[in-house]
Chains A and B, each alone.
Chain A
Amino acid sequence: MTRTPVVTVGALTALAATALLSVALGAVWIAPSHVVSVVRDAITGASSTPAWESAVVLSIRLPRVLLALAGGAGLGVAGAAMQGLFRNPMADPGVLGVSAGAAFGAVASLYGLTFLAGTYAAPVGAFVGALACAAMVYALSTRHGTASTETLLLAGIAMSGIASALTSFVLSLALAEWELGREMVAWLMGGLERASWGELAFVLGPVLLGSLGLLADARGLDALATGEESAMALGVDVPALTKRVLVFSSLITAAAVSVMGVVAFVGLLVPHMVRRVLGPAHRALIPASALGGAWVLALADLVCRAVPGAGLRLGVVTSLVGGPFFLFLLLRGRRGLR
């Protein structure tokens, strides 16, 4: 399509500008030109900028922004793939109960296992909880080696409900301990303030690997849009495709959610917006949803930090903006979602 190059250049420019502004902004303003110098120095080994500036940029702000980009990209890609697989505009990266499982894993780990995992208690617990929940939903929905998408969706809703109830239970246990409860609630609302290079590395692997894996199935997902039997008759092994897409999407989402907390609407909304601009073909939809998700999340984090003292959390911002926007798309012209 002729629009693709224009859209790509525009998206990359917006992404770079948002990222740069986001690194510049904080308790102390660091001019974007200085930010560029710090990064250049770090690469070339020179030292033309004040030490405090490079410390703030390199050890606090840059990993945070890059984490937002990586996590947002992951949510965008996973959302696009899940909507393609389920042929359902309501599908999001948390379809298999990944988000709810991550939340339970995080609070359970904070409550009971802090002594084991130290500062990584929440992310490690969340990652394990997310994948465990997805695996259980898949196992429950599979008969004779194939999982029906309707059963998967419904089992995912049921498991999410169970995991949410367990999360509330652990929270109520923890309410007596103020600090612990605070930490849990903060994680549940999503945030990036504890971002580090370690967490970035933890997210980047699954996001890159999973996105490439999903991209390789782009044509299979296209064929699936015309029906399961049609896709099979075209030579697509639909059960194998289903398994791959679920594994890659869940892996990406688990990694993203485990370091960012629950961030709603990004994975649901971004693929819809991209589809409207670029059409439904997954070969363009998947990478464009990565760019879109990265941009939206960087922007949401920027908003959180640009309004100091307002106590805005990442998940709150994405839901408060994403929810109404989703409704707008849904009701506009009564064309419905595609």
Chain B
Amino acid sequence: MSILRFDRTCFGYARGFALRDVELSIEPGELVALVGPNGSGKSTLLRLALGLHAATAGRIEIGGRDLGGHTRRSLAREAAFVPQGVSLDVDFTVEELVAMGREPYRSGLAPLSPEDRVAIHAALERTALGPLRQRTARSLSGGERQRILLARAFAQSAPLLLLDEPSSQLDLAHAYALLELVRDHVRAGGAALVAIHDLQLAARFADRMIVLKQGTVVANGAPRDVLTGTMLHDVFGVDAQVDWEPTFRLHVGRVVNSTNLNSPT
């Protein structure tokens, strides 16, 4: 059973479609990279999956249930979100922030249950935040704050992770470490859909890549099949050469077209 399924899903703003007839499914054990130029609809797609926007046509299923049949809480037990550009400029401690991941399991003023504590502890350990648990987020670096958001998503114990540009603010080592953690989650039977600009990282970590162009899925498959010179030309507007041996390498030549990439259709 798919963890996430889009069935001819559309989403439109007043000026036109932001997403058109999107078909995709994410299976357990898959790390799927969502790539495409700025404004191609990656963030919109993640927001639709989280019920933050309502689709204008088509269906979305999460955990085998139609999105409309979910409450906020039941959805939060199926899918956890690591948003983009959250500065986390707050005085909450790391532990308090990670404990927020248990929100979908808590009610009223009841204290944390033993299961809550186990999940929080595990999330702190996996992300190596244990030693920082009493520090406030404000006192930590950008890389550490991003790890807090991931730990909070882990504490949600949801099978599906949705990440919006998790590596955009991170240096190389932090970006790799973060995606390693996401891959661990997937190996343990979860799934992840990661909107990402860095094709190098996407090629290295993704089991599958979905390419969006102007709100439409134009490619969906193994990185080796998807990351081709033709695709880079058509979607990203660059002349580029792709090597796969010994590892993925991208040689970008000239920019063919940096304008009108995202003109509304």
Q: Name A's B-contacting residues (CB within 8 A).
A: 215-216, 218-220, 222-223, 225-227, 229-230, 232-237, 275, 279-281, 283, 338
Cβ-defined contact, A235 with B75, below 8 A: yes
Contact partners of B109 in chain A: CB under 8 A: 215-216, 218, 283
* Count of chain B residues near A, Cβ 8 A: 31
* Extra A-B contacts (16), CB below 8 Å, given A223-B100, A233-B50, A237-B72: A216-B109, A222-B92, A222-B96, A226-B97, A226-B100, A227-B86, A229-B47, A229-B81, A230-B81, A232-B50, A233-B76, A233-B80, A233-B83, A235-B73, A235-B77, A279-B93
Set A230, A232, A279: member contacting B91, Cβ < 8 A: A279
Q: How far is the CA of A32 from the CA of B76 in the complex (A)?
A: 56
Q: Which residues of A contact B173 (CB under 8 A)?
A: none
* The one of A225, A234, A236, A338 that contacts B101, using a Cβ cutoff of 8 Å: A234
Is B253 an interface residue when CB atoms closer than 8 A count as contact?
Answer: no
Contact of B52 among A222, A232, A235, A338 (CB under 8 A): A232
Residue numbers in B under 8 Å from A220 (CB-CB): 103
B92 — which chain A residues lie within 8 A by C-beta? 222, 225-226, 279-281
A232 contact set on B, CB distance < 8 A: 50-52, 72
Chain B 74-111 against A: per-residue CB contact (8 Å), 1 yes, 0 no? 01110111010010101111001100110110101100
A283 to B112, CA, bound (A): 13
A residues near B91, Cβ cutoff 8 Å: 275, 279-280, 338
Q: Are B96 and A281 in contact (CB under 8 A)?
A: yes
Specify which chain A residues have a CB less than 8 angstroms from the CB of B72 in the assembled complex.
Answer: 232, 235-237
Q: What total of A-B pairs shows CB separation below 8 Å?
A: 72
Partner of A216, one of B75, B97, B103, B108: B108
Q: Is B156 an interface residue (CB 8 A)?
A: yes
* Contact A234/B103 with A216-B109, A229-B52, A280-B92 known, Cβ cut-off 8 Å: yes
Interface contact A280-B90, CB-CB below 8 Å: yes
Indicate the member of B50, B72, B156 with the most A CB atoms within 10 Å.
Answer: B72
For A223, give its contact among B75, B79, B83, B103 (CB under 8 Å). B103
Contact of B90 among A216, A226, A233, A236 (CB under 8 A): A226
Residues of B within 8 A of A218 (CB): 109
Q: Which residues of A contact B73 (CB under 8 A)?
A: 235
Interchain nearest-CB distance for B67 vs A (Å): 13
Per the bound structure, the CA–CA distance linking A3 and B100 in Å amounts to 22
| 7 tightest Cβ-Cβ pairs between the two chains A and B | A235-B76, A235-B104, A233-B81, A235-B73, A234-B103, A237-B72, A280-B91
Within 8 A of A (CB), among B91-137: 91-93, 96-97, 100-101, 103-104, 106, 108-109
- Which residues of chain A come closer than 8 Å to B100, judged between CB atoms? 219, 222-223, 226, 234
Check A230 against B104 for contact (C-beta < 8 Å): no
Once A227-B86, A229-B83 are accepted as A-B contacts, the answer to whether A234 and B106 lie under 8 Å apart by CB is no
Cβ < 8 Å to A, chain B residues 138-177? 152, 156
Distance to closest chain A CB from B96 (angstroms): 6
Task: Tell me if A's interface is mostly helix, strand, loop or mixed.
Answer: helix
CB distance from B246 to the nearest CB of A (A): 39
Report B164 CB to chain A, min CB distance, Å: 9
Residues of A within 8 A of B83 (CB): 227, 229-230, 233
Task: Give the chain B neighbours of A229 by CB distance below 8 A.
Answer: 47, 50, 52, 81, 83
Which residues of chain B have C-beta atoms less than 8 A from A219's C-beta? Answer: 100, 103, 106
By a CB distance below 8 angstroms, the chain B residues around A338 are 91
Give CA–CA (A283, B99) in the complex, Å: 13
Query: In the complex, what distance in Å separates the CA atom of A219 from the CA atom of B71?
Result: 18
Closest to A276 in B: B91
The verdict on A234 contacting B108 (CB below 8 Å), with A222-B96, A229-B52, A280-B91 known, is: no
Among A223, A226, A235, A338, the one with the most B-chain Cβ atoms within 10 Å of its Cβ is A235
Chain B nearest CB: distance from A320 CB in Å? 29
Residues of A with C-beta under 8 A to B86: 226-227, 230
Instruction: Tell me the complex Cα distance, A216–B107, Å.
Output: 9
State the CA gap A235–B256 with chains docked (Å): 44
A279 to B77, CA, bound (A): 28
**Which residues of the other chain, B, contact A235 by a CB distance below 8 angstroms?**
72-73, 75-77, 103-104
A-contact 0/1 string along B45-81, CB 8 Å cutoff: 0010011100000000000000000011101110111
Provide the bound-state CA to CA distance between A260 and B152, in Å: 44
Q: List 7 A-B contacts (CB under 8 A).
A: A219-B103, A229-B50, A229-B83, A230-B83, A232-B72, A233-B50, A281-B96
Question: Which residues on A sit within 8 Å (CB–CB) of B80?
Answer: 233
When C-beta atoms are compared, the residue in chain A nearest to B138 turns out to be: A338
Query: B77, B81, B97, B100 — which one has the most chain A CB atoms within 10 A of its CB?
Result: B100
Residues of A near B156 (CB, < 8 A) are 234
Q: Are B104 and A234 in contact (CB under 8 A)?
A: yes
Nearest B residue to A225 via CB reads: B90
A280 to B93: give the CA distance in the assembly, Å.
9
Docked complex Cα distance between A237 and B70 (Å): 12
In the complex, what residue of chain B is closest to A232 when comparing beta carbons? B52
Contacts of A216 on B, CB cut-off 8 Å? 108-109
Chain A's closest residue to B153 (CB) is A233
